[in-house]
Structure 1
């Protein structure tokens, strides 16, 4: 056949492109398909060397394409939950293009466009779709499970016994910084800014250093949350742990330990005894769906000649029609996505025809951190979070006691408030552990004078970080402050 010959010139010729009604009777006695062409001669409008698509795929005879999955089906039979008489999903192939059993009529009612579509190589691919929820098995303890994660409240458990309040030691004092340390810290701060001048840092006279301490209280609540949902994957013959192996355990009956305490982690696992094999709903267990690029026609309109088969050229002072070299005058070209077949591998089952469906349990370990900062100078409080200090207090327990012995009463009040809030803040999680700390961060406010400029800067943290918003030489020659 001349490959340049247009396909589907009439609805009943070659690859189905319009409304077609055909009757097929299967393969009698394992021989040639009834109604095929003698001598395996392909009809006009088909591709040489291939069997014509006659409402079903070659070798597909009333069952699952490729035969019974390796290892057999669970329960000793074929997959449960088949879809007898279900229409083919809209936009994904031929209506009722399913299994040919005996004398049936296969129809295409407007599924394939009557005209060639414009070629768009950037058309988004189809995405896998979830099976119908009503086809999923009923599993005790998971009756309301869908395909989206549903948070599960933990079972009621006794409040963790705190026992007696632990004995807490007194808070030690912090070292102070000298004038030399303050000047060296300021010079380092100036060196980190390209437009800062170091003359002021070298020449300024330090009048006074006022030492103080900032307190940073943190409370960590480490909790575990569980959510369940239906999940699916292509069935490739992998083992199936179904209800025949016993009842499914409850979502909170499955023992799992956190990989690391006070660290955010997530794990997924298959709930035992909930798996089953279902025929793919997207392709009706055929393994193929309609091509999303050519909409099943196998050909697309040539985008160089816009489907005309020729291009206008200006030659010898006249406009002439020149045969398009891209489509060879046909006005159409083979779809590069499906190679002209009009069908592609099913994206849901990846061509395996069946799906393994099971209940997926998502376990999420989350570390919830809240804090409170006490800092009584004009320096912004948030700067205290990013520097180190002295760890004055740390406790870890299933449930912690609020801090009540700290010299600063604001820390004691903040601890009482945050501990009470965190105890009821996460009803869908099981609290595994709590930990709270108090850090003491040294802060020094340095008062200085440079020429006629009187101001101050701050040195804080064990790293001797500097906060100097009023530094007098913040721009050098040629720079301007925006």
Structure 2
């Protein structure tokens, strides 16, 4: 058997391993080539059309019974809270706050390429048999809008067979464990062949060396890059990613409830608009929402249209109900919040805890 190459482990593929494919000149192995900008459309983008203004924006409010039931459920779900304040407390005042959340979603498609390889198993090679389609000319089926997804496609007419660069087309590489010798110094006698006052080493039978268990004494192992096949199939992979890019804006409100609490709940949907390109909502009673819509639509267009193809946009406005509740219990006034469609409760300084917290 011919001696295996003596290189120190796998090396990166040589530059000549990859063909020069027109339209894919920047493609490298292992990715890193960046996303490919989409081609200029052959026709102008459709102009966005404004939505007609909506005259009525329904503002829901919760009842006292709803606020009381939500508070009782909140107290009962916390093992350290007595349910007495929630059950026996008397609501003295309820104040509703209109808090809006504007959300803009831009669903995009981006494409990137990389040279890939696999052990050659007799597959047909088609490099340069026909003109290679461009990265944005290859058909890919987009998933449901506004859901992230990915598809990897082998680019047609880029597959070729190359000799394996790691084993120099021999199918085997030197064993690192024994440095290609097939054996190594016996660990029991440290290579002397004897131990304990000239007693012959039983482990290596006095040879001072033992057979390498990693390569079974062969000095070489099957090349993992080509799986012992000696050749590789080299081709370009196209990765298509569909991404839902979402931005939220919540209007500041004076209830005292932190905005981070509102990220955990849903609201009542007041407005929804989905199309190729949305237009800032008009006629909404809160100018902060209108300003946020204009700003986010402008930012999304500048950010995502350079490296991706915009497939669809969607904007929604939710009203997140917040009710500030004041109640009396044992002659003292206390407060809690009920917010979101889920009637989630937030109560600082709950007045009756039944266990201690260790600090």
Q: Give the TM-score, by structure 2 length.
A: 0.92
Aligned to 2:126: 241
Aligned residues: 354
Q: Which moved more, 1:277-286 or 1:168-177?
A: 168-177
In structure 2, relative to structure 1, the CA distance for the partners of 1:406 and 1:54 (3 Å cut) is: closer
RCO greater where, 1 or 2, for CA within 8 Å and sep 6 or more?
2
8 Å contact kept, 1:215–1:374 = yes
How far apart in 1 are the matches of 2:316 and 2:38?
28
Shift of 1:323: 4.0
**Is the 1:160–1:398 contact (alpha carbons within 8 Å) kept by the matching residues of 2?**
no
- Choose which of 139, 146, 152 in structure 2 pairs with 1:255: 139
- Structure 2 residue matching 1:434: 3-state secondary structure: strand
* Structure-2 separation of matches of 1:206 and 1:324: 90
Contact kept? 2:171, 2:229, Cα under 8 Å: yes
Determine if the alignment matches structure 1 residue 137 to structure 2 residue 19: yes
1:390 is aligned to 2:268: yes
Matches within 5 A, 1:22-421: 53=1, 55=3, 88=5, 90-92=7-9, 129-147=11-29, 148-150=31-33, 151-157=35-41, 158-244=43-129, 246-312=130-196, 320=197, 322-376=199-253, 377-421=255-299
Moved over 6 A (4+): none
Q: How far apart, CA to CA, are the structure 1 residues paired with 2:155 and 2:207? A: 56
Q: What residue in structure 2 maps to residue 5 of structure 1?
A: none
Structure 1 unpaired stretches of 5+ = 1-52, 57-87, 93-125, 313-319
Change (3 A) 1:54 1:143: closer
SS at match of 2:263: helix
Maintained 8 Å contact 1:130/1:232: no
Mind listing any 5+ residue stretches in structure 2 that lack a counterpart?
none
Alpha carbon RMSD of aligned pairs, Å? 2.1
SS at match of 1:221: strand
Deviations 1:23-62 (A, max 9, x none): xxxxxxxxxxxxxxxxxxxxxxxxxxxxxx4547xxxxxx
Secondary structure class of the residue paired with 2:246: strand
How far off its partner does 1:325 sit?
A: 3.6
The normalised TM-score by structure 1 is 0.69
